[in-house]
Amino acid sequence: MKTSRFTDSQIIAILKQAEGGSPVPELCREHGISNATFYKWRSKFGGMDTSLMARIRSGKTKIVA
């Protein structure tokens, strides 16, 4: 499986910038990601903090939907 170019904290920071009012296309250009990647991250990690994201990735916490 391919590893991510971005750390958990970088992904959270990008999502928080968008919540703060930065235009999504501008953020995507700035960080070198596609719009699809941004919206995929937002659906997966929106509203999380870095520690919760790390626990989910390590497999210790399950997401109940």
Residue 65 CA to residue 7 CA, distance in Å, equals: 24
Write down the pTM of the prediction.
0.73
List the chain domain ranges. 8-58
The confidence score (pLDDT) of residue 16 equals 92
Residue 24: name the closest of 7, 42, 6, 8 by CA.
Answer: 42
Cβ neighbors of 61 (< 8 A, separation 6 or more) are 52, 55
Tens-digit pLDDT profile for residues 10-47? 999 999 999 999 999 999 999 999 999 999 999 988 87
The pair of structure tokens assigned to 38 is 């941004």
- What one-letter code names the amino acid at 44? K
The confidence score (pLDDT) of residue 36 equals 96
The confidence score (pLDDT) of residue 60 equals 66
Q: Is 65 a residue whose pLDDT tops 60?
A: no
Band (pLDDT 50/70/90 cuts) for residue 2 is confident
